[in-house]
Structure 1
Amino acid sequence: MEKNYLNWLNSHQFYGIKPGLKRIKEILKRLGNPHRYIKTIHIAGTNGKGSTASILSEILLEHGFKVGLYTSPHLIQLNERFKINGKKIENERLNEYLKYIKKNIKDYPATYFEITTALAFLYFYEEKVDIGVIECGMGGRLDATNIINPEVSIITSIGWDHTKYLGNTLEKIAHEKAGIIKRETPCVLGDLSENLIPIFQKKAEILKAPLFIVGKDFYIEFNKKNNWNYVGDHKFEDLNLNLKGYYQGNNLSCALKALEILERKEFLKITEEKLRKALGQVKVSGRYEFLNIKGKTILIDTAHNLDGFIALKSSLLKDNFKDFLLILGITNEEGDKPFVKMIEILLPLAKKIYLCEFNSPRKIVSIREWKKSLEKFPTILNKIEFVENCERAVKMGLESDFEKILVTGSIYFVGEYLKNLKFEKI
């Protein structure tokens, strides 16, 4: 790939996070408003939106549709954000789009995420996808993706994250996520605290948007065979989802309800055989993913916030995955992430902890910050070793006596760990 256009995109990271729709409207206008000519599904949520998007994409693909999938951030390579029928955009094509966008927006003050969002819409439009599955970047109401009028909206979960931009209470965060609900457009609601549901019900009522709530309008349960039973318009038993982790049940149920809504709209006819095949082959790198390397079982999971850690612990307990080496790296761009609480959640299950520094476009929790924050927690410090970079953490883990390793935290950390792990395997 020609470096200049990727460098041009990367230079926009200095603009930081700037919620708002004014800039994305102008950018898309200069590109011919490609988003207006594709059908979409829009997914928001503190956790689970990426997995939900991937599940939906795989099912729709198996049903014969040409499916665009836009997710963020990427784990290792930018191309991961833009997929059609499960395949990443090629380097040359990606560079062509960046060149074209640069030419058309000139020196317009866009953010990194606004440019990638515009690129996704342009790519999906030119490739004539039947439907695009679009994941929100952050929040909902003022997210750059919230320019679309989708066939169905999904809100998977509400939790603590990005409070600097979304608000310092769960109610405020919920209001931001509810911003993706569109007039007369069905919305699927995942597993939320009961006290937050009225926020979405009120917004849906105002906009005359049909609202479907898990546990009320559709149901999911984990059965004794370690599979999923679903009840909605359809009844499916013993669904085997290739994505592991108990928390995936909520994501699966949201995807299936959205699929049923598309069926009501006569977009497709759900075939159980195709559904089961799709669920058995869906993959999302870094989501409760097991690797076996050099005699060690390495579990990878991008649980990057408090609720993610709680969900991860629940799955670890169910799978009896304990007495492991925990390798952890966390970003704290906004300065409000409760990273000590996060480590306390996994502390009882871990025998040893490596706290790592790593390369990231966002501010990381440095070793200095870790040491200062953990001064008053001697029981935690007894288990901890500080590691100055990801490469060393990989080597130390593989050379340790631990048979089980859990690698988690920021998606940027997990991505760098996997890059270094790849070199170690060779």
Structure 2
Amino acid sequence: MTTNTLFTANNLDTWLAHLEQLHPNAIELGLGRITTVGERLNLIELDATVITVAGTNGKGTTCAFLEQILVDAGYKVGVYSSPHIHRYNERLRINFKELSDQRHCDAFAMIEETRKDVSLSYFEYATLGCLYLLQQEKCDFILLEVGLGGRLDATNMVESDLSVVTTIGIDHIDWLGSDREKIGFEKAGVFRANKPAICGDLDVPDSVIEHANNISAQLKLVNKDYRYERIEQDQWRWIGQKTLSPIKQTLMPIQNAATALAVIESLDLDINAQRLIDSIEQASLAGRLQPMTGYPCDVYIDVAHNPQSAEYLASQLQRIKTTKGESCKVHAVVGMLSDKDMTATLSAINHKISDYRFVSLDCYRGASADLLFEAYQKSENNSHNVVKFLNVESAFEDAIKDADTSDIVIVFGSFHTVSDILKK
């Protein structure tokens, strides 16, 4: 069957269903297939300043900080990120705005016509489609969030002008390796010879530095070429070639804000210091300790799904608890994917949780509540009251019913878990 008979002009859902069936593997790293099609569409070198952002955690928030700064400074900025939480269109933003279903359908039609006999994964197809649209939009800056790893990720097909590695933790071990040195090497694969590279990890693996040196990348490291420090409980300062202070702490990580500021400094853009501070304080991103309104108690959702992100979430929950008093309880609704390190993730946050509601995720790689509970039993400080639920909605309703007005309900563990709350 041909593209014309398979798809209507406006039916994005039908296109997406088709993409899921095109390739036998949901995840298949490698640049051969996508580069073949990318070259046919002239997508290797984009007509914009391209910033590629890799890292275990913090990619999305670093891009959000950069997006806010650059848009506020008057630039046209395109952002490609993944996965989406609620709608596919979230994967591409132009100055904060999503593009229409029709634009994405048109891009898919072009990719389908161009790829010919090349088999593409869902992510490769999505990446090509969004790159095609970004090229059409004639942006000043393009921010590319790496999907998985870096060296062999589809986004690494594009020649970037500046590369970032936010943090390096243990995740996706089946594809990236089981230790930080191996994972660091994979993520440093986004670096480019003789071009700026920023690493915001507080304990950077040797492999990252060695790779940067081998290709003569212009590497800048936190606590060496720039740094940040708290000056009060809710304020901090950034110190590079210039100092920015005071900056109000928001719900997104200071570490990633500092990395974004290091990027801006490396770009040598003439942006007023107060404007930089204002942009950092205004930046936000869906699903990152996102407050939900309309409930009798405080409710937050967060996509934390590995030990490093769970540790940060725990620290932020403690910050919030200190403003609410000792009687504040934290009721957690958790759903995770089965290939995540569930035991280590829960160990990182157990000490801040009062009780758990584990849920089964009905999606590819979704863990059952029973499997999640088995992982919890192996975790540290596992003396909570735990109830298992078949879905996120029923667990969330039960948590809200059980919570006092001074309590916190936190929903976390996966983009799928957060998405189910946003659909309510």
After TM superposition, the score normalised by the length of structure 1 is: 0.90
Query: Which one of 79, 83, 88 corresponds to residue 73 of structure 1?
Result: 83
Counterpart AA for 2:349: L
Shift of 1:10: 3.2
SS of match in other structure, 2:149: coil
1:294 to 1:375, Cα distance in 2 relative to 1, 3 A: closer
User: What runs of 5+ residues in structure 2 fail to find an aligned partner?
Assistant: 1-9, 323-327
Aligned to 1:328: 334
Matches within 5 A, 1:208-223: 208-223=216-231
Shift of 1:84: 0.5
SS of match in other structure, 1:211: strand
1:234 to 1:136, Cα distance in 2 relative to 1, 3 A: same
Say whether 1:262 aligns with 2:267.
Answer: yes
Aligned to 1:231: 239
Confirm or deny: 8 A CA contact 2:64 2:285 kept in the other structure. Answer: yes
Confirm or deny: 8 A CA contact 2:347 2:381 kept in the other structure. Answer: no
Confirm or deny: 8 A CA contact 1:220 1:230 kept in the other structure. Answer: yes
1:57 to 1:375, Cα distance in 2 relative to 1, 3 A: closer
Aligned to 1:300: 301
Confirm or deny: 8 A CA contact 2:346 2:376 kept in the other structure. Answer: no
Shift of 1:379: 7.6
| Counterparts of 1:36 and 1:52, CA distance in 2 | 21
| Counterparts of 1:208 and 1:382, CA distance in 2 | 51
Aligned to 2:251: 244
SS of match in other structure, 1:146: helix
Root-mean-square deviation (CA, aligned residues, Å) is 2.1
Aligned to 1:388: 390
Aligned to 1:122: 132
Shift of 1:252: 0.7
SS of match in other structure, 2:423: helix
1:97 to 1:378, Cα distance in 2 relative to 1, 3 A: closer
Shift of 1:22: 0.2
Query: Which one of 346, 350, 355 corresponds to residue 352 of structure 1?
Result: 355
1:225 to 1:52, Cα distance in 2 relative to 1, 3 A: same
Confirm or deny: 8 A CA contact 2:22 2:121 kept in the other structure. Answer: yes
Aligned to 2:317: 316
Say whether 1:406 aligns with 2:410.
Answer: yes
How big is each residue's C-alpha offset from its partner over 1:260-279, in whole Å with a ceiling of 9 and x where there is no partner? Answer: 1111xxxx312123223322
1:34 to 1:147, Cα distance in 2 relative to 1, 3 A: closer
Shift of 1:391: 2.1
1:129 to 1:180, Cα distance in 2 relative to 1, 3 A: same
Confirm or deny: 8 A CA contact 2:403 2:409 kept in the other structure. Answer: no
1:217 to 1:364, Cα distance in 2 relative to 1, 3 A: same
Shift of 1:368: 3.1
Confirm or deny: 8 A CA contact 2:56 2:169 kept in the other structure. Answer: yes
Aligned to 1:424: none
| Counterparts of 2:187 and 2:88, CA distance in 1 | 25
Confirm or deny: 8 A CA contact 2:165 2:201 kept in the other structure. Answer: no
1:25 to 1:323, Cα distance in 2 relative to 1, 3 A: same
Shift of 1:34: 5.8
Aligned to 1:182: 192
User: What runs of 5+ residues in structure 1 fail to find an aligned partner?
Assistant: 421-426
How big is each residue's C-alpha offset from its partner over 1:208-240, in whole Å with a ceiling of 9 and x where there is no partner? Answer: 111111011101112215122001022100123
Aligned identity (percent) is 29
Shift of 1:36: 3.5
Shift of 1:381: 6.7
Q: How many residues align?
A: 407
SS of match in other structure, 2:354: strand
| Counterparts of 2:121 and 2:287, CA distance in 1 | 26
After TM superposition, the score normalised by the length of structure 2 is: 0.90
How big is each residue's C-alpha offset from its partner over 1:278-317, in whole Å with a ceiling of 9 and x where there is no partner? Answer: 2232120111122232211002111111111111112222
Say whether 1:6 aligns with 2:16.
Answer: yes
